[in-house]
């Protein structure tokens, strides 16, 4: 009887956790309000409110989210309200977004209906000899 339980336990697959190779993200729900700067090496999804600067790998902002501060990210997908400058390699501004501040980008997509007050500028090319494939791209989505 005991030997059957031991064999069953041996046959179960073992779970292994590898923290080094994981692609993680943090979610701030709609009930979370943060005062202070946020720095993350991974991805963020923000549905709540932030008063402070945000620096992360990728940012996804919910439609009802409010961010008051500068955003710096490799990629950003914004759907809520932002009051501050945005600096992103790849930037998508959805139709529900309301942005007040200057926008710096390599690749930019803006859905029809988005509201942006501020200047748009391409990010400076890294290195003096930027190739034609490194040129910023602007596209408009319907």
Rounded to whole angstroms, the Cα distance separating 125 from 142 reads: 29
Whether 12 is in a domain gets the answer no
Whether 70 is in a domain gets the answer yes
Whether 20 is in a domain gets the answer no
Whether 35 is in a domain gets the answer yes
> Which token pair is 30?
């709609």
Euclidean distance between the first and final Cα of the chain, in Å?
67
- What confidence tens digit (pLDDT) does each residue in 20-43 have? 444 688 999 999 999 999 999 889
Whether 8 is in a domain gets the answer no
Whether 77 is in a domain gets the answer yes
Could you tell me what percent of the chain has a pLDDT over 90?
Answer: 65
If one counts the domains in the chain, the total is: 1
Range of the domain at 32: 25-124+136-141
- What confidence tens digit (pLDDT) does each residue in 45-58 have? 999 999 999 999 99
Whether 130 is in a domain gets the answer no
Instruction: Give the residue from 29, 21, 25 showing the smallest Cα distance to 41.
Output: 25
> For residue 42, what is the DSSP state?
S
**Which residues are CB-contacts of 49 (< 8 A; sequence separation ≥ 6)?**
32, 33, 34, 65, 66, 67, 68
Report the predicted TM-score, pTM, of the whole model to 2 decimal places.
0.73
Whether 51 is in a domain gets the answer yes
> Which token pair is 102?
């200057």
């Amino acid at each position: 009887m005991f030997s059957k339980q031991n064999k069953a336990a041996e046959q179960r697959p073992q779970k292994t956790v590898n923290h080094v190779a994981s692609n993680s993200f943090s979610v701030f729900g709609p009930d979370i309000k943060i005062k202070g700067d946020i720095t993350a090496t991974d991805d963020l999804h923000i549905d709540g409110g932030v008063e402070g600067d945000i620096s992360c790998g990728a940012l996804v902002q919910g439609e009802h989210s409010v961010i008051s501060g500068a955003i710096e990210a490799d990629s950003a997908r914004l759907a809520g309200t932002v009051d501050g400058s945005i600096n992103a390699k790849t930037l998508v501004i959805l139709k529900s977004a309301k942005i007040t501040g200057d926008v710096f980008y390599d690749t930019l997509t803006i859905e029809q209906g988005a509201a942006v007050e501020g200047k748009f500028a391409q990010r400076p090319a890294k290195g003096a000899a930027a190739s034609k494939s490194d040129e910023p791209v602007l596209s408009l989505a319907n």
